[in-house]
Chain A
């Protein structure tokens, strides 16, 4: 019996050593790859986009391998807290509530919440949203703000922005509130949709990092600042969002 226990322990230690000290260390990023152009799955099945490239550049600067995990947007913060992932980079807005649970890096991009409607819709401005059925991606700031502003009965939560837009095309919701850049992609992909000129909210995107991991936060911010100074950050963003 003792021998078996000793053997198991020895194996475990060996495994732990392999996991811990094998070559380059990995940095695990969590994201929700249904948010183009910040993160999406490309034709070859790889997760690409602004966030993926920024994370790659940051990881390189810090001397880490990058591993990207795709999960539901509303699980990301919990995953950061529980240590499943080292950081979340998912076009995530800095909010006071989220700051109570995680730390945020410096901002790397600005997001705008916009309203997508069908062409010819009677929703012409934000005032017309009252009493309408709004589709959102579950757990996003669009979801949080709309639920606060219009109540749960007027908000339908979908697992992804694409499903919310599918519901809009079907006429299941009257409009979809989501971040500007993915909105542009959704409108491009579906005929008969448009984005309202008025912005619903303006916000800052940043990486979420666990409260107790200040070491990573500092290193992340340092790498981010260097990338900004080198102009690499703008380069990545321009690659995915062509200037109008």
Chain B
């Protein structure tokens, strides 16, 4: 392994660098060994790839699971007569899922999926394991968010739809969901941001996400400041971009209100 030593480095550095004050030299040195030396910036981009794949995969899976569960739960809770057997069973199952997933920490779920249930053998398998675990976890939260949205639309709306001759599914799709979606967008955005940050836990199943890679750099340089501050900035930028996109979407949807 090649060792980078500050004294050697500064002796070979250009003159303008040697003219800087000590603390700034040291800071530039840390930046240099965190990002440039031996192409270490690749650690960050490699890690970001995993973070992106896991976040996007889990997001899609979470929304699908969440939607399905919310529809079952809403249909069950809003039915006037006693719901038929299958619906009652599905509702019971969804409740069980919500209780178990929301009642155990994400870290524990990752450890169980990674070492007991799935125990993936390949890199792709491990990524899939991460996506599935995070997706299942996020799905539980999305389900409650979506349900709150569906329940927030007054019964008069769906009654009106049904009176016009639309089926239950048509009423849902054309009348209830478009209005509900607008209401839940802020909460959904919140959940997405949480999910993005929760991906930093996947290192326990030996995935190298961007957090793990920053730790790896800190382990190589034994300097914590630059790698971890850079890591925080990376997450911050990602979240700011996400928030911006969500607010644009929100504004677009609000146009129909006027």
Name A's B-contacting residues (CB within 8 A): 74, 77-78, 81-82, 96-98, 100-102, 135, 138-139, 143-144, 148, 152-153, 156-159, 163, 166-167, 170-172
Contacts and interface: CB of A to CB of B under 8 A. Distances in A.
A97 B115 contact: no
A163 B215 CA distance: 18
B206 A101 contact: no
Contacts of B212: 138, 157
Contact of A158 (B1, B206, B216): B206
4 closest residue pairs by CB, A with B: A101-B222, A156-B206, A170-B119, A78-B224
A101 B3 CA distance: 12
A97 B222 contact: yes
Contact of B222 (A78, A148, A153, A166): A78
Interface in B163-203: 203
A74 B215 contact: yes
B161 interface: no
Given A156-B206, A157-B203, A170-B115, A100 B121 contact: no
B224 A163 contact: no
B206 A167 contact: yes
B223 A101 contact: yes
A170 B206 CA distance: 14
A98 B218 CA distance: 11
Contacts of A102: 222
25 contacts: A74-B219, A81-B222, A97-B1, A97-B220, A97-B222, A100-B3, A100-B6, A100-B222, A101-B222, A138-B203, A138-B212, A138-B219, A139-B219, A143-B219, A144-B219, A156-B206, A157-B206, A157-B208, A159-B203, A159-B204, A163-B115, A167-B115, A170-B119, A172-B121, A172-B126
B3 A96 contact: yes
Interface of B: 1, 3, 5-6, 46, 115, 119-121, 123, 126, 203-204, 206, 208, 212, 215-216, 218-220, 222-224
B208 A148 contact: no
Contacts of A159: 203-204
Nearest to A171: B121
A172 B204 contact: no
Q: Looking at chain A's contact residues, is the secondary structure mostly helix, strand, loop, or mixed?
A: helix
A82 B228 CA distance: 14
Given A144-B1, A156-B206, A171-B119, 12 more contacts: A78-B218, A78-B222, A96-B3, A97-B3, A138-B219, A139-B215, A152-B46, A152-B208, A158-B206, A159-B204, A172-B121, A172-B126
A142 to B, nearest CB: 12
Contacts of A138: 203, 212, 215, 219
Contacts of B206: 135, 156-158, 167, 172
A144 B208 CA distance: 15
A76 B119 CA distance: 29
A19 B126 CA distance: 47
A106 to B, nearest CB: 21
Contacts of B1: 96-97, 144, 148
B129 to A, nearest CB: 10
Contacts of B119: 167, 170-172
A92 to B, nearest CB: 12
B244 to A, nearest CB: 33
B3 to A, nearest CB: 5
Contacts of B220: 97
A100 to B, nearest CB: 6
A102 B218 CA distance: 14
Given A148-B1, A157-B212, A98 B204 contact: no
Contacts of A158: 204, 206
A162 to B, nearest CB: 10
B5 A100 contact: yes
Contacts of A96: 1, 3
A105 to B, nearest CB: 17
Nearest to A95: B1
Given A78-B224, A97-B3, A172-B121, A163 B219 contact: no
A170 B120 CA distance: 9
Contacts of B203: 138, 157, 159
Contacts of B121: 170-172
A182 to B, nearest CB: 18
A197 B123 CA distance: 29
